[in-house]
């Protein structure tokens, strides 16, 4: 029930619709996840781990961060030990991954650790405070800088990395009516939130839709992540030397938009349970859509970067294992279990993908994480 003292996000969305008319699904999703005080992520309600809302590679334990740290150190060596060397994370949530990366760099790659400068991109003041506390407990002798967006980054040499960031970018939801594409919007009717079709709202959206091949059956519904494409182009412009590394679940464009995928990839999650209706309980559950990695690579290359690798997490983990399990010391049974979870095809290994977008980065040999990748350009349907 609506309360002036304790409004819910559903109240806020309803009032916004009554005042201004239907919201695009993209704007609804942005509010559901990132409203400053009521959004799922920005409010702090999102909980990661076995007891939380969803489970990530970071939840498995510190091994994931350790493996990324080895990849970062290898990149630093490949770039002739550049100093300073920027390490930038976006989507750091509670700071665990960055803490695990810094632990391994400090303990196993001290020369690299001495040359790094660390930045976290975090728009939420509440999450920044959580990250600050988490990293302060690690007692790393290093200053961490926070910025609210990639626009605030200076041109950099180093690495920008993210894990399960792009799937949480707000997406446009579109439907093929049998003759043309329409955009789904959120309206308030019969005392409830409902999806309604309308004409496309954004010329940029129309250009992205023009790349879809079809033919599609009437009612075919899917998503377009315009912001992920802009993200890739912006970072390619900021990057001087090094790479952007993104790990997430997704497909090539042809696979993402194949005609058989009639309901797209959008899902809601709460307490590890999938919610079929994305309009239910806005602000109290996660909303996520898979990543179109082909468009991501195209936009980065148009802005001057180059695809340096694309593979599933299974092969990414196997490639990095050579850097970590090098026989320098015995590993625990818990670490062995964690590695199997990260790379097992039936668990996280095939669902998640890693993409490396580089600039002024030697292509041969590939970074270890992509040593077992197949033809990355062919996988994404990119022309040389």
Q: What is the pLDDT of residue 45?
A: 61
Q: Mean pLDDT for the chain? A: 90
**Mean pLDDT of all residues in 81-92:** 96
**Mean pLDDT of all residues in 186-211:** 92
**Structural domain includes residue 302:** yes
Whether residue 48 has pLDDT greater than 60: no
Whether residue 86 has pLDDT greater than 60: yes
**Structural domain includes residue 191:** no
**Structural domain includes residue 187:** no
Q: Whole-angstrom Cα distance, residue 257 to residue 366?
A: 29
217-235 confidence digits (pLDDT tens): 999 999 999 999 999 999 9
Q: What is the pLDDT of residue 53?
A: 46
- What pairing do the DSSP bridges indicate for beta strands 192-198 and 267-270? unpaired
**Structural domain includes residue 51:** no
Say whether the peptide bond before residue 336 is cis (omega within 30 degrees of 0).
Answer: no
Whether residue 198 has pLDDT greater than 90: yes
Q: Whole-angstrom Cα distance, residue 383 to residue 368?
A: 24
**Structural domain includes residue 283:** yes
**Mean pLDDT of all residues in 149-157:** 98
Whether residue 330 has pLDDT greater than 50: no
Q: Whole-angstrom Cα distance, residue 173 to residue 195?
A: 10
Tokens of 330: 């015995």
Whether residue 274 has pLDDT greater than 80: no
Please name which of 288, 201, 195, 303 lies closest in space to residue 244, comparing C-alpha atoms: 303
| Domain carrying residue 277 | 57-170+225-380
**370/141: higher pLDDT:** 370
Whether residue 69 has pLDDT greater than 50: yes
Q: Which of the four pLDDT bands, split at 50, 70 and 90, describes residue 338?
A: confident
Q: Which of the four pLDDT bands, split at 50, 70 and 90, describes residue 326?
A: low
Of the ranges 151-160, 260-269, 278-287, 321-330, which one carries the lowest mean pLDDT score?
A: 321-330
Q: How far apart are the first and last CA of the chain?
A: 57
**Structural domain includes residue 289:** yes
Dihedral over Cα of 1, 170, 172, 273: its sign = negative
Give the chain's radius of gyration (CA, Å).
Answer: 21
Whether residue 54 has pLDDT greater than 60: no
**Mean pLDDT of all residues in 153-175:** 97
Q: What is the pTM of this model?
A: 0.92
Q: What is the pLDDT of residue 65?
A: 95
Q: Of the ranges 48-52, 190-194, 202-206, 297-301, which is most confident? A: 297-301
- % of residues, the chain, pLDDT over 70: 91
**Mean pLDDT of all residues in 198-227:** 93
**Structural domain includes residue 320:** yes
Whether residue 328 has pLDDT greater than 50: no
**Mean pLDDT of all residues in 126-144:** 89
Whether residue 272 has pLDDT greater than 70: no
**Mean pLDDT of all residues in 118-135:** 93
Tokens of 287: 């909303």
The CATH number of whichever domain residue 157 belongs to comes to 3.40.50.12710
- Give me the residue label for tokens 């806020």: 12
**Mean pLDDT of all residues in 194-203:** 92
Whether residue 180 has pLDDT greater than 70: yes
Tokens of 293: 């990695």
Please name which of 245, 243, 257, 254 lies closest in space to residue 289, comparing C-alpha atoms: 257
Q: Which of the four pLDDT bands, split at 50, 70 and 90, describes residue 327?
A: low
What total number of domains does the chain contain?
1
Cβ distance 255 to 293 under 8 Å?
A: no
**146/192: higher pLDDT:** 146
Whether residue 42 has pLDDT greater than 80: no
**Mean pLDDT of all residues in 2-13:** 73
**Structural domain includes residue 82:** yes
């Amino acid at each position: 029930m609506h309360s002036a003292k304790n409004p819910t996000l559903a109240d806020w969305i309803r009032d916004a619709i009554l005042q201004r008319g239907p919201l695009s699904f993209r704007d609804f999703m942005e509010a559901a996840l990132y409203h400053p005080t009521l959004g799922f992520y920005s409010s702090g309600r999102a909980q990661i781990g076995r007891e939380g809302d969803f489970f990530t590679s970071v939840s498995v334990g510190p091994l994931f961060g350790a493996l990324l740290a080895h990849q970062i150190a290898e990149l630093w060596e490949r770039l002739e030990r550049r100093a300073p060397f920027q390490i930038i994370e976006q989507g750091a949530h509670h700071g665990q991954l960055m803490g695990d990366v810094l632990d391994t760099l400090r303990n196993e790659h001290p020369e690299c650790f001495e040359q790094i400068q660390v930045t976290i991109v975090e728009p939420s003041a509440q999450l920044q405070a959580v990250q600050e506390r988490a990293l302060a407990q690690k007692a790393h002798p290093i200053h961490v800088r926070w910025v609210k967006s990639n626009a605030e980054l200076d041109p950099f040499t180093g690495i920008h990395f993210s894990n399960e960031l792009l799937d949480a970018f707000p997406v446009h939801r579109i439907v093929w009516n049998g003759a043309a594409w329409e955009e789904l919007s959120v309206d308030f009717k019969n005392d409830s939130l409902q999806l309604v079709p309308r004409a496309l709202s954004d010329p940029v959206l129309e250009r992205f839709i023009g790349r879809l091949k079809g033919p599609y059956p009437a009612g075919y519904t899917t998503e377009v992540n315009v912001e992920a494409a802009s993200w890739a182009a912006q970072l390619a412009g900021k990057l001087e030397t090094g790479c952007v590394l993104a790990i997430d679940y997704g497909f090539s464009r042809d696979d993402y938009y194949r005609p058989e995928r009639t309901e797209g990839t959008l899902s809601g999650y709460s307490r590890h349970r999938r919610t079929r209706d994305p309009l239910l309980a806005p602000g109290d559950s996660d909303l996520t859509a898979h990543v179109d990695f082909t468009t991501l690579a195209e936009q980065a290359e148009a802005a001057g970067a180059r695809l340096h690798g694309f593979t599933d997490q299974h092969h990414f983990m196997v490639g990095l294992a050579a850097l970590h399990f090098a026989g320098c010391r015995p590993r625990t049974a818990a670490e062995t279990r964690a590695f199997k979870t990260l790379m097992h095809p039936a668990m996280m290994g095939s669902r998640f993908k890693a993409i490396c977008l580089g600039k002024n980065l030697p292509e041969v040999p590939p970074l270890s994480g992509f040593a077992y990748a197949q033809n990355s350009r062919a996988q994404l349907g990119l022309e040389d």
